[in-house]
Structure 1
Amino acid sequence: MLGRHSDTARLRRIGAALLAVATTALLAAVLPLVTASSAEAAGKGTTSVTLKSITDASTTGSFTLAGDDLTLRGTTSGNLVGMTLHLQVHRGSRWIPVAAAATVSPSSTFVLVARAAGVGRQVYRVGFAGSATLKPSAGTRAVTVWRWFPLVDQPIASKVAPAGSTAPHPSDALTVAGTGYPRVLAGSSTRTATTSSDFALGERCAAFSATVGLADRSASDTTATFTVVLDGATAARRADLAVGATAAFGIALTGNSRIRLEQTAVVPDPDGSRQAVPAWPLAKVLCSAKP
């Protein structure tokens, strides 16, 4: 009996020893994998990109225009020196790549140059895509882009023209003071009359610009007076222009909702065969959204 119990105890001690050896071997095999995975995660360095400014390199004015060159400057964390950053712009719900990239300088700064596009508030993002050892990061900044909208392409909200006259409307191929225009706002009259066309602005425009004058085909003794009316108030007038003469408008807009182009044609001794053709070449508004 004693011998049998002694053998059983010995077997139990041997089994325990084998189990301890097996457990030690298993831990020795698994621990390096866990340690390696943790070390890899810990090795992904945190990075940062800050887009500090977007400036318009193309103009000295206060508006960034579509087509202008933009200069984007910023800083990064030190571990991004020598890395490449890429530019994107936000469109709808997506970030769209822009053909611009920069390498981070030894002083952890970057400079990107891109062409302004779109109209209204544009959000740009400069980003680092990440690497085997560094986490991705990005910085964003917005800029408002303005665009000139030709009034000849905009719908006419309302117009006034007495019999024998037409209000300013899109016309093809007119020559004013010897300069040809393929498409222009113009009206006509066979007698002295005032006509006008109104355009909605939506309170999103900052400037109006135009050249005005009588079309060269007007009767030689006719004249015209051009008036710009903003929300019912006269903003500027160019009076008594003869055939061959032109004048310019440059008017600041401050949240105006409506602009009226008014023209008074003077036709001496009207006989129905002679006419004046007042024209508004290059009439346009600068807006941050389509009028």
Structure 2
Amino acid sequence: MLTDTVQQAYCLEQMGVVNWVPKESTLETPSLPRPFIPWVTEHSQVPVFQREAESLSQNAATSFGFQPVPMLDDPEVTQKTVTELKEELLSNSSVIVEDLQPIEEFAVDISPSTAQEDILVQSFSAQLYSIERRLLIITHIPQVFDEYDAIENLTLKMSKALLRHSVQEWQSARFSWPEKLHNSYFVEKTDWMLGALESFVERYIEESQDGSMLVVAGTQLQKVMDALPTSSVIASLPRANIVSLPELYRIPELKRDAWNELQRMRDL
């Protein structure tokens, strides 16, 4: 059996590398078979397992109806084949070759609406103020909120400026959904929420005089009010959309835009 040193010396000799092993040590056993070389030399043949793998590959391709395609190493032959194929496609009327033109791109400002914008809230709280039976103000309030006195004073000042006289009669009520409703089936039904809110607001509209106005404060509450049917009495009232009263109380800079919206409603 050949030693590792003899095998290494023989492989290095085949690659033309001069090694430090004495030449006589590599020829101690000239009659023994040489180790297997993973590459092909001028004196070696293709390994048996490689020939068998190529034969199996060709037989499998032939059995499935495929013929082995000869490889074209000559670039001129390859180029000629591509040219002939192009001419054949152009000359054959049954083959349609599309001429792809460059696509022109135009810069367009697109503001896609997200799916979240169309989803109504499933739980919210609102505070309604009925002023002089002429003005209804309903505002969205946070779930945890304790500054009702502050937004009440803000509502009375805003109503006085809008009606152009002092407020003598007013009342407030709170709406919360789902409140004490714990059945998940009814809580997730949007029509139940819209029906409850519609009944709540219409109860105060019936007590109001003709020509009453409606102020809806808060983006989420405005989406819910927009989802009410157009046949509702609420849809027939002049309406103004402003930010919620808690937000208006915390950020006084928003009062100017809110006042412009209220004046627009009054002039309707």
Which TM-score bucket, shorter chain as reference?
Answer: under 0.3
Q: What's the TM-score once normalised by structure 1's chain length?
A: 0.17
Q: What's the TM-score once normalised by structure 2's chain length?
A: 0.18
Larger radius of gyration: 2
More strand by percentage: 1
More helix by percentage: 2
